[in-house]
Structure 1
């Protein structure tokens, strides 16, 4: 199917990926704009576009409360969108191809390589099979645990539905929840701040969805191979550092503030969840608006870093962050090579990390400046919203439901770029590469 598109339209993998997300968003917008999707029987086109983009880009920002504003049909539309958006439409198309017993062509393998952020095509179809299996097993397990817990609060049918919806939402780092129908609009998981089952299940789902399918596959093979790849080592080590340090700082900042009403166990669980959820989880057991400004800024930093490549999360990615730290360390020590776990990294990787970070930073700065013009809100709330949209985190300081139409369009663009990736989008829209036949003379400028 993709082979035909590539031949007739001469579409490159980055263009196919970007176009695929646009098509999903367009279909979702039309479906959500239907009267059957809304509790009130109507949703404006701009709100439908916002919700469809947020679901497809697995963000979780919502201008309409999912539990009270959408009908069951509208909620199911969102569920399908963030399932497709989380796993990737390319992965789902490959599933159909495998079910039909069709051979995966070379160009389709190139597209899969691009969608999974892989450096080679070797074993890519095997990886896709594993992605689908892992996703189904993890999401069903999460749904079962959550459904059994929710049986204490609601009917059996509703508990099963809530378990399935929230397991898929949290694993795909979508951040949508239905508890507005139970605890009030935009209430999130605040009533479960001290519930160990909900907290631990949510944290495991966010973590497994955020480390990436490549790392999951590597961990499954660890019993046979007795070693991890460099990528997995960097992802797991950096993730553990960010989670541990983030939880520790959050606990220190909020122990006598927002965490004060909770018991000791609740304080610890809430601290770890708030350290994990900015990686794109989007669910929270605390009121973000009630946190200290220092805690809100800590969450902004964690959202900007995001999850791992090849995962359902956004941000600049933990590997990019680790590579930048390693490059700074090497420069300070006067070393030419950038080394991680006794492996020298290519200059191309370093340049890519720098480019990705600068593009992302410039995008967030520009969007924040524009939002500060269009929205009547504190600067920190505007910055928080912009980084949350770019990092597809879905957390908000309450600005999302109050956005103007211009603000909604800006956030839609941020969510789309954050999900597809600034570099992927840049490669998709750049002109055809011409061979450079000359080099400019070398010059010197002062640095520092």
Structure 2
């Protein structure tokens, strides 16, 4: 491909199409949130800089959870409500746009329309946009309402009605914001609180389309008159999402359990250690809550958590990262190459070349953005400090960058110590991590035109 004759005009045209709607939606929400959070009405004590207000609004809208100030003590009830509203708007916005993209993909429309959200939807007579949005909102409110009730029943003193509402919305939207300075560490031993959060995080991270399929299968099973007739069951896509998510959680929990509790420095009862490892593995998938001190964990745990954060949740969900389906496509391709097979097979189906190319493109995009942000932060957060005095800082910066890009919200404690420049970098990374794969790939496609010729192919020595 080559640049169009006027790439600037192509970019301007793309910014005026439905492709850019998510960009405008999130930018406007962030700006309004920044202004509101900077007002004295939002602040419990002292003030907050415009940079910190922007950082907090971006983190909430992009459902990340990184915080430069303590949410529970620094903000008033009004300020906390603003953050809660930003989380809800951000979570619903992500699910809405991502789910519409998924719908377009399932309908096999053109490549450009697959990543665009707009008028092409209305050309399908079988699709009712209003009904779709209403269904999404009802699902969201039902799950969040259930989480609110369960959290309050599990611990009425620790989770008041407002606290239950705040944490239920934050968990389902995979935001990770908490009203407690130590997140959920006080409930490390509480099985029911842990299970409620695990359910909310998982429901918000598997994708709206999978939730809808669960509903359809349940209705089909309950409404069957002929019990001998088999239900159609979940689709191939939903099975791939669920199986991949399951093994990522189990594998992550196993690594964290080994790194933290077998022969290392965290003395803990066996049942608490297993529950903590499992919870931390789930929340690494872009939720951002923690029951363990992240800054006190081993390097092996931090590396494993970065891998989970970079993968993230599933398409059409509140989660960030490159997505579970991208990870599964890459592993299938790798196994096919090792075995000398031409097709990359996942659960009895071969992946097409378009999907594989997209998986590699998104992965390279993530690697490039995280690497660039890490290098910039290494310079802004002590680039003039000799290495002997900055040991361990690079891992903390890399962890922060991956957490921001994956919209996770976990931190080793670096976030409040960031310079103003560092906060701007992390804010940008959160925004790009939330919209990057969809928006930037769409803009790039508009900047290039397909060539009307083919170059001669040649082999190159590799490896």
> Which residue does 1:101 correspond to in 2?
none
> Which residue does 2:440 correspond to in 1?
425
Indicate whether 1:385 and 2:385 are aligned: no
CA separation in 2, counterparts of 1:247 and 1:124? 41
> Which residue does 1:330 correspond to in 2?
336
CA separation in 1, counterparts of 2:334 and 2:114? 33
Matches within 5 A, 1:143-222: 143-153=148-158, 159-179=160-180, 186-222=181-217
SS of the aligned residue for 1:348 comes to helix
From 30, 33, 36, give the equivalent of 1:31: 36
Kindly state the Cα deviation for residue 112 of structure 1 after the two structures are TM-superposed: 9.4
From 344, 351, 354, give the equivalent of 2:360: 354
Of structures 1 and 2, the one scoring higher in RCO (CA 8 A, sep 6+) is 2
TM superposition score normalised by structure 1: 0.86
> Which residue does 1:58 correspond to in 2?
63
CA separation in 2, counterparts of 1:37 and 1:438? 60
SS of the aligned residue for 2:307 comes to helix
Kindly state the Cα deviation for residue 62 of structure 1 after the two structures are TM-superposed: 0.4
From 293, 298, 311, give the equivalent of 1:292: 298
> Which residue does 1:443 correspond to in 2?
458
Gaps of 5+ in 2: 1-12, 100-108, 221-230, 383-389
Q: Does structure 2 retain, via aligned residues, the 8 Å contact 1:58–1:312? A: yes
Matches within 5 A, 1:98-177: 114=117, 123=127, 125=129, 127-153=132-158, 159-177=160-178
SS of the aligned residue for 2:449 comes to coil
> Which residue does 1:369 correspond to in 2?
375
SS of the aligned residue for 1:39 comes to coil
> Which residue does 2:83 correspond to in 1?
78
Q: Does structure 2 retain, via aligned residues, the 8 Å contact 1:90–1:112? A: no
Q: Deviations over 1:327-350 (max 9, x none)?
A: 111122222122212212210000
> Which residue does 2:270 correspond to in 1?
264
Q: Does structure 2 retain, via aligned residues, the 8 Å contact 1:15–1:429? A: no
Q: Does structure 2 retain, via aligned residues, the 8 Å contact 1:143–1:163? A: yes
SS of the aligned residue for 1:421 comes to helix
The 3 A distance-change label for structure 1 pair 424 and 79 is same
CA separation in 1, counterparts of 2:303 and 2:422? 21
Indicate whether 1:235 and 2:241 are aligned: yes
CA separation in 2, counterparts of 1:70 and 1:41? 10
The 3 A distance-change label for structure 1 pair 258 and 295 is same
Kindly state the Cα deviation for residue 113 of structure 1 after the two structures are TM-superposed: 6.7
CA separation in 2, counterparts of 1:83 and 1:269? 28
> Which residue does 1:183 correspond to in 2?
none
Q: Deviations over 1:164-221 (max 9, x none)?
A: 0000001100000111xxxxxx311111110112111111111111111111111222
Kindly state the Cα deviation for residue 20 of structure 1 after the two structures are TM-superposed: 1.4
SS of the aligned residue for 1:221 comes to helix
Q: Does structure 1 retain, via aligned residues, the 8 Å contact 2:14–2:443? A: no
Query: Aligned-pair RMSD on alpha carbons?
Result: 2.5
Kindly state the Cα deviation for residue 443 of structure 1 after the two structures are TM-superposed: 2.7
CA separation in 1, counterparts of 2:239 and 2:94? 28
The 3 A distance-change label for structure 1 pair 236 and 90 is closer
Count of paired positions:
413
Q: Does structure 2 retain, via aligned residues, the 8 Å contact 1:20–1:89? A: no
CA separation in 1, counterparts of 2:146 and 2:154? 13
TM superposition score normalised by structure 2: 0.84
